[in-house]
Amino acid sequence: MIPERKQTLSINSEFEGPVRLEHHDDGVSVVRMVAGENRFNPDMLSGLEDALDTLEAREGPLAVVLTGEGKFFSNGLDLEWLGQADDAGRRQSLARVYGLLARLLELPAPVVSAINGHCFAAGAMMALAGDWRVMREDRGFFCLPEADIGLVFVPGMNSLITHKLSGIAARDTMLTARRLGGPEALAAGVVDRTVPEDRVIAEAVEVVAPLASKSREVFGGIKRGINAAAIESLRAEAESALRA
């Protein structure tokens, strides 16, 4: 069994809203969403953007664990908020979601999505935007439900999903809206590892901690090269949403 690493040394006191930022002693920072279903609305998006701003400004080794809390990683767009927002607010929020996904794809540090619970729709796409994925093995589902809720994937999201998943996995998750538990997600290649609930964060840390000291410039350059098509498509989607 992999030994437990030392627990969090500090928690950034500036982050008291829907996103918490925790710094470990091995260069790993945990971005933790703590707003229930962790749906994307302006507050959640600002919390995530601020956390990434803070991390990119830090000096020294850096690796990132992105996770939720309790039963949810993220259930995607806050449809209730979007339904009440005006057109400009909806377009701006969608543009920010596309921009967030692109930013994770090119973040100059290793990123692992620690899927602690339900991971749906745009929340599932955010998990895919990480470089690796560790998922709880006993509860929680990964799901792209668009086929069941009457939505067509916009080109940017389509590019992200088909880039990150094998052809068969992309076909099955996108066309069937099937809910995948940890073992099924592992078998399909959607996630890299599955572990018990109390090991999700520790396992995620083990994945990226050895990479924290790598050159950010080099690491970011390699990620931009690997993910170039998806990044470009998502950036174009963000610009299109703002122009609509």
- Specify the number of domains making up the chain: 1
| Edge-first strand listing for the sheet containing 72-74 | 72-74, 118-120, 142-143
70 in any annotated domain: yes
Q: Please determine, for residue 154, whether its predicted confidence score (pLDDT) is greater than 90.
A: yes
Token representation of residue 104: 């994770």
15 in any annotated domain: yes
User: What mean pLDDT value characterizes the chain?
Assistant: 93
112 in any annotated domain: yes
5 in any annotated domain: no
Token representation of residue 225: 């090269």
3 in any annotated domain: no
Span 1-24, mean pLDDT? 61
**Whole-number Å distance between alpha carbons of 174 and 143:** 9
4 in any annotated domain: no
pLDDT value for 16: 74
Torsion angle of C-alpha atoms 123, 128, 132, 135, degrees rounded to 10:
40
Q: Please determine, for residue 3, whether its predicted confidence score (pLDDT) is greater than 70.
A: no
pLDDT value for 11: 42
Residue 89 to residues 70, 155, 170, 244, Cα–Cα distance (Å): 29, 21, 31, 12
Span 208-233, mean pLDDT? 97
- Kindly report the CATH number assigned to the domain that includes residue 19: 3.90.226.10
Quick: pLDDT tens for 117-138.
999 999 999 999 999 999 999 9
Quick: pLDDT tens for 48-96.
999 999 999 999 999 999 999 999 999 999 999 999 999 999 999 999 9
**Whole-number Å distance between alpha carbons of 84 and 187:** 39
CB atoms inside a 10 Å sphere around CB 82? 15
Handedness of CA 85, 66, 37, 17 (dihedral sign): negative
pLDDT value for 226: 97
pLDDT value for 25: 84
Q: Please determine, for residue 214, whether its predicted confidence score (pLDDT) is greater than 80.
A: yes
Residue 146 to residues 68, 100, 149, 232, Cα–Cα distance (Å): 22, 20, 5, 22
Tell me which residue range forms the domain holding 79: 10-243
Q: Please determine, for residue 171, whether its predicted confidence score (pLDDT) is greater than 50.
A: yes
Q: Please determine, for residue 8, whether its predicted confidence score (pLDDT) is greater than 80.
A: no
91 in any annotated domain: yes
**Whole-number Å distance between alpha carbons of 23 and 41:** 25
216 in any annotated domain: yes
**Whole-number Å distance between alpha carbons of 2 and 140:** 23
**Whole-number Å distance between alpha carbons of 190 and 192:** 7
pLDDT value for 244: 66
